[in-house]
Amino acid sequence: MLGFNLMRFRYILDWEREKEMMTESCFQTTFPLDYANRRRKISKNYTIKQIPTQHIMNRLLQHAFTPNQATSIGLLAVAFWSSVVGLIRALSLHMGAVGGAAVMYSLSTLLLLAIFGLPNLRQFSRSYLFWASIFFVGCELCLSLSIGFADNARQAVEVGMVNYLWPTFTIIGAVWFNKQPAKWWIGIGFALSFIGIATVLGGDSGFSLPEIIGNVRTNPLSYIMALLDALFWAAYCTLTARTKAQGNAVGFFFLLVSCILWAKYFAGGYGSLHFDTGAILYAVAAAACMGLGYAVWNIGISCGNMTVLAGASYFIPIFSALISSVLLNAPLSVQFWQGAIMVCIGSGVCWLATQNFSFRRVE
């Protein structure tokens, strides 16, 4: 599971922990109600608070999901998360990089709290909350601002592609720090991912070192933040897996991101926000893609086919580039698509290198 996507698109590890807590079959009970009951059993000394909309969400989902239904619902997360890069860029053009990100994460926070309720922070150790907050918040800040600070639409798509090095970094972190067994050819996947990114950054020239350096020099801040974004998320995933953290604190992390962005916005004197029709639509769409993506992904990994979901998640870089290209009217070269495909293949190879496949001879 450590090789999964997105922004991203990105939230599988927390929900893998929740999945381990759910022993009943999805055919016997509905996961939202079971989820709440399990959380209460863990916290016997106090009551988990639920806001009214969470009860509505539980009722809406109060029926059993078949594996095919759950898988189909989970696949919606791929579409949602693939749209995030383009929507963040479009929103930044209306509200600015910082103001747009602050509005988007505020709406996402409200949506996550409405769906999953208030997080129970007492389930986590202080050291985990401290480091996880740094990694998660740093990741989301770098993601949104790297895209918002891009010079143009084409650069925003390129920056978004650099972010998709995170699956490769996550698997490397699992092998290096968590002692995840891996085949020797994991290095091939690692190399493919970086060659793919280099091809993307080379522009129309493809894999060309002078072109890559020249391209990065035009806006080093965005590219560096995109790389840090991938590293931060890999660190968060590695930490969560290493500590075997139970529960879900993403709503809390999103709240921290929102507060930091608003503090930066008011301290930086960015001026007033303009809430025109386009800005409101992009803000709501971006927040919905983040929040709802998380919700439907939870359904998919709880009751659906993990193999199908894992395979689909590796195509998010391509889907994201395609949607962003159309949304931002940014034509992409053949070399770009070649690099994007290499990034996907490289991540997939890294994941396969960590899997223990066994074959039985059929008599």
Report pLDDT for 62: 53
Question: Could you tell me the pLDDT band of residue 254, with boundaries at 50, 70 and 90?
Answer: very high
Report pLDDT for 47: 39
Report pLDDT for 43: 38
Which tens digits make up the pLDDT trace of 178-230?
677 878 888 888 888 888 888 888 877 778 788 888 888 989 999 999 999 98
Q: Is the pTM of this model over 0.75?
A: yes
Which tens digits make up the pLDDT trace of 284-331?
999 999 888 877 877 776 677 766 777 777 788 889 899 999 999 988
Question: Could you tell me the pLDDT band of residue 271, with boundaries at 50, 70 and 90?
Answer: confident
Report pLDDT for 115: 82
Instruction: Choose among 339, 353, 352, 285: nearest CA to 164.
Output: 339
> Average pLDDT of 233-238?
85
Type of residue at 354: T
Type of residue at 330: A
Question: Could you tell me the pLDDT band of residue 363, with boundaries at 50, 70 and 90?
Answer: very low
Report pLDDT for 358: 52
Would the pLDDT of 342 be above 60? yes
Report pLDDT for 54: 54
Integer-rounded Cα Rg, in Å, for the chain is 20
- If you count them, how many residues does the chain have? 363
d(CA 330, CA 188): 31
Would the pLDDT of 86 be above 90? yes
Would the pLDDT of 18 be above 60? no
Report pLDDT for 10: 43
Tell me which of 166 and 3 has the higher pLDDT. Answer: 166
For the chain, give the mean pLDDT.
Answer: 78
> Average pLDDT of 38-58?
45
| Other residues' Cβ atoms within 10 Å of the Cβ of residue 99 | 26
Q: Kindly state the tokens that stand for 257.
A: 């991101």
Tell me which of 250 and 244 has the higher pLDDT. Answer: 250
End-to-end CA distance of the chain: 32
Q: Is 225:156 a contact under the CB 8 Å cutoff? A: no
Report pLDDT for 169: 83
Instruction: Choose among 117, 54, 74, 139: nearest CA to 249.
Output: 117
Q: Is 145:98 a contact under the CB 8 Å cutoff? A: yes
Would the pLDDT of 94 be above 50? yes
